[in-house]
Each structure stands twice: as C-alpha cells, then as structure tokens.
C-alpha cells in the first residue's frame, strides 16, 4: 500500500499560468478530499468526491478552481490563471467506506511567482 500519492511534490508557476495537481487515492477507497494549507488560513477544506461523484465543493473558490475525478484511481485539482495568493500546500486525502479516518498524501507545494 503506497498510500495517497500526490504529484508533483513541488510546482512553481508564473502569475496567470494554469496549474494542475494530481492525486491517486489509496486503492479501494471510496472518497477523495482536497484541502489547502497555508500559515494564515490553516487547513481549509476545498472539495470532495464519493464514488467519483462530487459531493461538496463549498470550500472551492468559485472562480479559477475546479476539481474532477474521472475514475476511481485519480483526481485532479486545476487552478486557472494562478495568483500569488494561491500559493499553498494542496493536500489530497482518501477514505474508505465505513472508516472515518482520512489518509493524507504528502501534498503539492504550489508557489506562484
């Protein structure tokens, strides 16, 4: 069990560019969550999927951010026209049905210059 895999570990983009972050959940887990971590805001919930269907995206900024889960083995978080304030560590977590524990990936550190 390799755990939750996030790629890339680090990403540097220029202001206005697009960034796509990838997450591979633990095999067999039914839910995938995206969080963003910054010093100022802490751990912020962004969105989550259950059985690949979007369940709650209440934490997602309405503009420029989107997430998808095209199959059970990966999810993507896309940020269009990145801004310096998007700089953060983006964390993906997965959860098995009937188990309340979240298993986190190591995160993708996004730096927008």
Partner 1 sequence: AQKVTQTQTSISVVEKTTVTMDCVYETRDSSYFLFWYKQTASGEIVFLIRQDSYKKENATVGHYSLNFQKPKSSIGLIITATQIEDSAVYFCAMREGEGGRALIFGTGTTVSVSP
| Positions in the binding site for partner 1 (CB under 8 A) | 33, 35, 42-43, 45, 48, 50, 55-56, 59, 89, 91, 93, 100-104, 106-107
Q: How far apart are CA 105 and CA 42, in angstroms?
A: 17
Q: 25 or 107: whose CB is closer to partner 1?
A: 107
Pairing of strands 88-95, 103-104: antiparallel
Tell the smallest beta-carbon distance from residue 103 to partner 1 (Å). Answer: 7
Q: 33 or 65: whose CB is closer to partner 1?
A: 33
Cβ 74 vs Cβ 23: under 8 Å:
yes
Tell the smallest beta-carbon distance from residue 76 to partner 1 (Å). Answer: 18
Containing 20, the helix (H) or strand (E) segment is strand 19-24
Q: 5 or 102: whose CB is closer to partner 1?
A: 102
Q: How far apart are CA 104 and CA 58, in angstroms?
A: 20
């Amino acid at each position: 069990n390799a755990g939750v895999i996030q790629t890339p570990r680090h990403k540097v983009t220029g202001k206005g560019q697009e960034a796509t972050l990838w997450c591979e959940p633990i095999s067999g887990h039914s839910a995938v969550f995206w969080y963003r971590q910054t010093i100022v805001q802490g751990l912020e919930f962004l969105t989550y999927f259950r059985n690949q269907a979007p369940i709650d995206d209440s934490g997602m900024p309405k503009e420029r951010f989107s997430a998808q889960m095209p199959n059970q083995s990966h999810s993507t978080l896309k940020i269009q026209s990145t801004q310096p304030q998007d700089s953060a560590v983006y964390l993906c977590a997965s959860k098995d049905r009937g188990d309340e524990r979240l298993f986190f990936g190591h995160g993708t550190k996004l730096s927008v210059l």
